[in-house]
Structure 1
Amino acid sequence: MTRAFVFPGQGAQTIGMGHDLADAYPTARAVFEAVDDALGEKLSTLIWEGEIEDLTLTRNAQPALMATSMAAMAALQAEGVEIGAASYVAGHSLGEYSALCAAGALSLADTARLLRLRGEAMQDAVPAGQGAMAAILGLDFDTVTEIAAEAARGEVVEAANDNDPAQVVISGHKAAVERAADLAKERGAKRALMLPVSAPFHCALMQPAADAMARALADVDMQSPVVPLVGNVIARAESSADTIRQNLVDQVTGRVRWRESVAWMSDQGVTEIFEIGAGKALSGMVKRIDRAMETQAVGTPEDVAKAATAING
């Protein structure tokens, strides 16, 4: 069996995530403590006892989801599963940072600080209320791209996340996104849902955030990952630290090519995907991309035990 470890992005956050891992595994608790130290605040208290509105703020959600993924990885390692059990790692948007941390390319502290900065920069790139995102369900990527071009009318609206064969997220100026959503429904979309996000991620409006990440990533120590990263913007494996660094900058304004990434891994012989961290959103996408792919979410001690048994045999 060839397997990949994948790491979730924004939207998977829940109050209490990772708490049972921290209770069951001292190494998982140490991950949350290290992230708290790196940020100089008790993010773990917000994750476990806070309000969902505060956790969902981009500046909090990004490092929080990474911490939960790394806690799950620490629990797996405690059960004898190392990152080398996977042939590839990948992550959805911020999950790409989690994947790089898991694969030894970035330290945990640097990853936490980068994601706090990334969250703040993405939030600040567009004034509140001027941007929006919408999920278009039931139309393929090419159709949604055509609709976005038609709806733009001099504004920005782009396909931001190509998630699976029937789910594409669009992003841009609020009015343009609303026009595209209406057009999509006219063209036969099953649903066009405005998303409760604070900024229009993964589109040209994020250029100020991309500039901020270019400066931050230039100053951070990055190693080549011990397991190749299947990158969001290239939808294939990459192991060069310098190339990955540039891809992370491009990712801020670029499309998350998740459907193509999973298809690429399938073409390389990947048959099992383990979703490390909060939620099961990526597992659902994977099954819609390739029904033959086996998926397993790893976010609780019970999940860890099941995954360890499956991997260790």
Structure 2
Amino acid sequence: MTRAFIFPGQGAQTIGMGRALADAYPASKAVFAEVDDALGESLSSLIWEGEIEALTLTRNAQPALMATSLAAMAALKAEGVDVTAASFVAGHSLGEYSALCAAGTFSLADTARLLRLRGEAMQAAVPAGEGAMAAVLGLDLAAVEEVAAEAAQGEVCEAANDNDPAQVVISGAKAAVERACEIAKAKGAKRALLLPVSAPFHCALMQPAADAMAQALGEVDMQAPVVPLVGNVLARAESAPAVIRENLVVQVTGRVRWRESVAWMAAEGVTEVYEIGAGKALSGMVKRIDRAVTPHAVGTPDDVSKAVATLAQ
């Protein structure tokens, strides 16, 4: 049986995530403490006791979701399961950093600092209110690409996240994305709705953030992952640090090829995926991409126990 560990992206954050893991596992609690130390502030207090509006800020959400994922990995390891139980790791957008940290490419402290910088740079790339993202449901990637091209009218409007066969996210200038929603509905989309995000991620407007990440990634120590990463940019396995570094920069402005990534893993024999961290959004996408792949969520101590039992089979 071939397995993959997958790591969620922005939007999965909730107040209280990971707290039960920290209470149950000293190793999980230590993950949050190390992230707090790396950032020089108590991010864990915000995660567990703060306001959701503050946690949802990109600069906070990105390292917070990573910390929760790595706390879940620490709990698994405490129960005798490490990342090598998987044949591949993958993550959705920021989740790619969580996957790489789990696989030993980055240290936990470096990952926290990289994601804090990434969140701040992505937020700063476009003035508030000038960009937008929208989820289009019921049209495939090719149809949404046509919608985005028609809506652009000289502005940036791109298919940013190819999540599953019936969900593609558009990103770009606010007016263009709003036009795209109306065009998508006219072309038969079941729904086309603006998303509550603070910036237009994964489109050309993010180039200043890509430049910032190129500099930061050039200065950080990277090791080859002990388990190959199925990356957002190439949608296939990669292990060379130089290639991973380059693709993490491209990823800021590039499309998240999640549907293709899951399909590639399924074609390589993956029959089970374990969503490590907050929420179950990726599990839902996996079901819609390939029903032969069984997803498991690992975000609570109970989830850890169930996953350990399944992984032992």
Q: Output aligned runs, 1:219-298, within 5 Å.
A: 219-298=219-298
TM-score (norm 2): 1.00
Equivalent position of 1:178 in the other structure: 178
Tell me the equivalent position of 1:164: 164
Q: Give the alignment of 1:76-155 within 5 angstroms.
A: 76-155=76-155
User: Which letter does structure 2 place at the counterpart of 1:92?
Assistant: H
Query: Are residues 1:24 and 2:24 paired?
Result: yes
2:9 is matched with 9
Secondary structure of the corresponding residue to residue 161 of structure 2: strand
The residue matched to 2:122 in structure 1 has which SS?
Answer: helix
Deviation, structure 1 residue 136: 0.1
Cα distance in 2 for residues equivalent to 1:175 and 1:61: 26
Aligned residue for 2:180, secondary structure, equals helix
Alpha-carbon distance between aligned partners in 1 of 2:128 and 2:23, rounded to the nearest angstrom: 38
Q: Secondary structure at the match of 1:202?
A: coil
Can you list the C-alpha shifts for 1:221-269, whole angstroms capped at 9, x where unaligned?
Answer: 0000000000001000000000000000000000000000000000000
1:202 equivalent in structure 2: 202
How far did residue 86 of structure 1 move? 0.2
Deviations 1:260-311 (A, max 9, x none): 0000000000000000000000000000000111110000000000000110
Q: Which amino acid aligns with 2:194?
A: M
SS at match of 2:126: coil
Q: Secondary structure at the match of 1:275?
A: strand
The separation in 2 between residues aligned to 1:225 and 1:292, in whole angstroms, is 27
Residues 125-167 of structure 1 deviation map (CA, whole Å, 9 limit, x = unaligned): 0000000000000000000000100110000000000000000
In the alignment, residue 241 of structure 2 is paired with which amino acid?
A: A
Q: Report the number of matched residues.
A: 313
- Percent identical among aligned pairs is 80
Distance, in Å, in 2 between the alignment partners of 1:125 and 1:296 is 35
Q: Which residue of 1 aligns with 2:65?
A: 65
Matched AA of 2:232: N
Which residue number in structure 2 is paired with residue 42 of structure 1?
Answer: 42
Whole-angstrom distance in 2 between the partners of 1:24 and 1:201: 35
| AA matched with 1:53 | E
Tell me the distance in 1 between the aligned counterparts of 2:258 and 2:234.
10
State the secondary structure of the residue aligned to 1:109. Answer: helix
User: What runs of 5+ residues in structure 1 fail to find an aligned partner?
Assistant: none
Give the secondary-structure state (helix, strand or coil) at the position aligned to 2:251. helix
1:172 partner SS: strand
- Structure 1 counterpart of 2:24, which letter? A
What's the offset of the Cα at 1:312?
1.5
CA distance in 1, matches of 2:47, 2:122: 21
1:189 matched to 2:189? The reply is yes
Cα root mean square deviation, aligned: 0.3
Distance between the aligned counterparts of 1:53 and 1:128, measured in 2? 15
Q: Which 4+ stretches in 1 moved above 6 angstroms? A: none
> Partner of 2:271: helix, strand, or coil?
strand
Between the aligned partners of 1:226 and 1:206, the Cα distance in structure 2 is 30
